[in-house]
Structure 1
Amino acid sequence: MTAAATGQPAFDGSRIDGAWFTAFTDFARDTKWLNTPMEVWTNLGLGVFAILMIVGWWTARRRGTQAMALALAAPIAVVTAFAAAEVVKKIVTEVRPCRSMPHAYLVDSCPAPSDYAFPSGHSTVAAATVAALLLLDRRLSAIAAVFAVVEGFSRVYVGAHYPHDVLGSAVLAFPIAILVSLALRRSATPLIGSLSHGALRPLLTAEPAIATRPAPQAASTGDPR
């Protein structure tokens, strides 16, 4: 059942950059040796972004409560951006390229008609991770950006999305992830500061606890005998 069958006007994204999409899929046809690696990466590669956020949390343990607040906000920012992308998908109802351009060479299988194309959920996760890590650790953000480009390329290469689906994901995800991270840094920093002195201390800080030194004993002036 298509969007049109349910009363929703289906949007044909091929009118925007169908020629570019065909260029990608023709390249995929000419590099069949790369088809399987790209098909595996396009889904499992999302784990890289989770690992980078974990690394960000681990290093934030030595950088204070604000850094830890940003580290803990990162996955929340990514989930928020992804949820927003899913809402946009239902509003735009852009049909997948496999339905608008069925004669193109496709590596990925065609999803259900209700699984719309714009924006790309995978690319949203990637772009949101880049944005969230940008506030925490620019080196990790740069690494995430490289993988995000590969992720976006793979989504078009396998025929799952048009190029504008990927670019639109970045435009949507970046500001959402930044705003959510900044808001949570401001609101969560005092709470993290308090929790850092309790049972959660090992998860929130790598600084050693300050031991209370016993008071020095007064020197005895009496005869020890």
Structure 2
Amino acid sequence: MMLALSGASVDGSLYTDVVDLARRSPAWFDDTVSVWSAYGLAVFAALMLAGWWRARRVDAAAAVTALAVPVAVVLAYLVNSLVKAAVHEVRPCRTLHAVTLEACPARTDWSFPSNHAAIAAAAAVALFLVSRRLGAIAVVAAAAMAASRVWVGAHYPHDVAVGLVAGALVSFAVMRVVLRSPEGLARRIAATRLRPLLVS
């Protein structure tokens, strides 16, 4: 059963205020935010790679935990996408006919919850359980990603807020399962062709 949500009734006025502010902001700032919104997820991939590279120099269990980060992110994305497909919230740029920095996505490219925010939050939470330093960087980057998606006009504020929560919860659940027995998982992986992923 499909649901229908009118995002404009939740925080449409706040969305309009943000989009209007973006239109009045300096071009260099808008360009910076737009680039981050479009390509910023690559930073999380780089942080995941760095976390794994550092972890494999510690021990196999740490490497397994680091390798679980992209798994947590993918699962968070899948769960978020299922919710998005069930809710069918039309993008605010279509509902409110706003002039936005980013081209308005197709009508069937649903808005709630934000996949960008979910991916960013999932990466941040998982990375924090691997490395406090990398996790702290990822938390700031995730907040910036969520804010940028509203700034460019792609999402309502509640889209990114729920995306952040959903991504964080799924990621935390996945990482908790892995952290129960990383040594056991390391032994299993070490017996396969994936062994080089665990040791430097």
How do 1:6-21 residues align onto structure 2 when only pairs under 5 Å count? 10-21=4-15
State yes or no: 1:118 paired with 2:112: yes
Secondary structure at 2:64 match in 1: helix
Secondary structure at 2:129 match in 1: helix
**Seq. identity, %:** 43
Paired residue total = 199
> Over alpha carbons, which structure has the higher Rg?
1
State yes or no: 1:39 paired with 2:45: no
Cα distance in 2 for residues equivalent to 1:150 and 1:40 = 12
Once the two structures are superposed, residues 58-84 of structure 1 have per-residue CA deviations (whole angstroms, 9 ceiling, x without a partner) of: 110122233212101100000000000
**TM-aligned CA deviation for residue 200 of structure 1:** 5.0
How do 1:24-173 residues align onto structure 2 when only pairs under 5 Å count? 24-33=18-27, 34-102=29-97, 104-173=98-167
Counterpart AA for 1:158: V
Which ranges in structure 1 are unaligned for 5 or more consecutive residues? 1-6, 207-225
**TM-aligned CA deviation for residue 186 of structure 1:** 3.8
Higher fraction of helix: 2
Contact 1:89 1:118 in 2 (8 A): yes
Name the CA shift for 1:198/1:101 in 2 (closer, same or farther; >3 Å).
Answer: closer
Match of 2:168 in 1: 174
Name the CA shift for 1:198/1:96 in 2 (closer, same or farther; >3 Å).
Answer: closer
Root-mean-square deviation (Å): 2.0
**TM-aligned CA deviation for residue 125 of structure 1:** 0.6
Contact 1:66 1:185 in 2 (8 A): no
Contact 2:40 2:145 in 1 (8 A): yes
Over 6 Å off, 4+ runs: none
TM superposition score normalised by structure 2: 0.91
Which ranges in structure 2 are unaligned for 5 or more consecutive residues? none
Contact 2:125 2:172 in 1 (8 A): yes
Cα distance in 1 for residues equivalent to 2:99 and 2:10 = 19
**TM-aligned CA deviation for residue 24 of structure 1:** 1.0
**TM-aligned CA deviation for residue 165 of structure 1:** 0.6
Cα distance in 2 for residues equivalent to 1:194 and 1:162 = 44
TM superposition score normalised by structure 1: 0.81
